[in-house]
Amino acid sequence: MSKLLVSYDDLIQTTLTRYAGNPIIRHSGISQDWKEWQVQEPIVFNDPNDASKLIMFYAGACSPVGMAVSYIATYIGRATADRANPFVWTDHPSHPILSPGANEYNDVSMRLDSMLYADGVYWLYTTGISSDCTDRDGRLGLNSIHLARSTDGVHFTWYKVPILLPSGDETDVSQAAVLKDENNWYMYYSYRTRSGQVLPGIRLATSTDGLHWTKTGQAVVSCTPGGYDSRYYEWHQILRLGRDYVLLSECFDGTHWSVGAAHSASPATGWIKKDTPLFERSGVPGAFDEHHIATPAIYDIGSRIMLFYQGGNNLDDYTMSRWDLGVAYSEELPRSLATLTMRQMKRGKPPLVGATVLNPQICRRFPQGIDRDQSAVISDQ
């Protein structure tokens, strides 16, 4: 639950400014290094052991050039930053902390899909790609969804088999964004079909324990002909903002990747898509995000809203981009938060943690606030 954004309207009305020092994490360019070609899929937490620190889990990829298979090998790393300076990140000394090959289903690659921190345990959901396992039509290269858990965020134990496999008309399932809402778990996943559809939308599965999942068979969102999401829906983040459930997605129109948004009053049904992208490519010649914005994720960092994302610079073939991680942030708190803060003051209640009171006669920061939940700063916890 976000402490700064209290509704979907807050999100779409928040102005985000690109950080002048972007990118904040770069691909290495070192041959066969774990992040030689690209970095992607940022997931940010408050460090549960040090309130002054942030933890980021993110994925890195080697170059596809010269590989024996037609998949980019991806890995998972971890970095830390000071909460006071969320623009400078230092990799964990054991990076990458996870590599392909944990089992036969992810021997080629693992995509970082989603992570939750609950009751002292990190729940890591990934997409595994196998060169040996076949899909339901006998084709090599099965995509499936996996779970690993950890108590220290470095050493993970994998569940032995995929927790979600293709079924019905699906040949692959991938990119699982997971939300734990009270006692219910919701997984929003991408898919490919036996009829040849590639990433045509996002479907839903539900669970009571985060391990055993039941598919609803329903599409939450689907590609719209002629729209910014006309070709693909791939990596995405699920949030709860007050009473609104919000889905942020990377969307492809055949030329550019951008950030799409959808919202609903229910986690399962009634989803409404935003007609235009929430955040788009910079278009600045030579910029790392000149042509593409992908793997978007919104977080509360102090008194700012921050959008972490992957930027690409190759228009002819996005897979050949050298993808780096950047960030955009809100300069001011959302309007409804300012209103809420003043209302709390009038009622004698403390404002939200870290909130700046937007009143010219009262310019002070309140150290006290509501529940300091150290489980995570990210909104999909």
pLDDT in tens, 284-336: 999 999 999 999 999 988 889 999 999 999 999 898 889 999 999 997 555 55
Lowest mean pLDDT among 19-23, 65-69, 162-166, 188-192: 65-69
Q: Is residue 375 part of a domain?
A: no
Q: Is residue 177 part of a domain?
A: yes
State the total domains in the chain: 1
Residue recorded with tokens 């007050």: 242
Q: pLDDT at position 374, please?
A: 27
Strands 74-82 and 143-150, sheet pairing: unpaired
Domain containing 194 equals 8-333
Lowest mean pLDDT among 98-112, 126-140, 182-196, 278-292: 126-140
Q: pLDDT at position 372, please?
A: 27
Q: pLDDT at position 142, please?
A: 79
Q: Is residue 343 part of a domain?
A: no
Measure the N-to-C terminal CA separation of the chain; round to a whole number of Å.
6
Q: Is residue 261 part of a domain?
A: yes
Q: Is residue 354 part of a domain?
A: no
Query: What does the block give as tokens for 327?
Result: 């960030």
Give the rounded distance of the alpha carbon of 94 from its chain centre: 23
Q: Is residue 12 part of a domain?
A: yes
Task: Give the C-alpha separation, 34 to 29, whole Å.
Answer: 10
Q: Is residue 369 part of a domain?
A: no
CATH number of the domain where residue 327 is located: 2.115.10.20
Q: Is residue 42 part of a domain?
A: yes
Q: What is the maximum span of the chain, computed from C-alpha positions, in angstroms? A: 70
Instruction: Quickly list DSSP for 145-188.
Output: EEEEEESSSSS-EE-SS-SB---TTEEEEEEEEEEEETTEEEEE
Query: What does the block give as tokens for 176?
Result: 């699982």
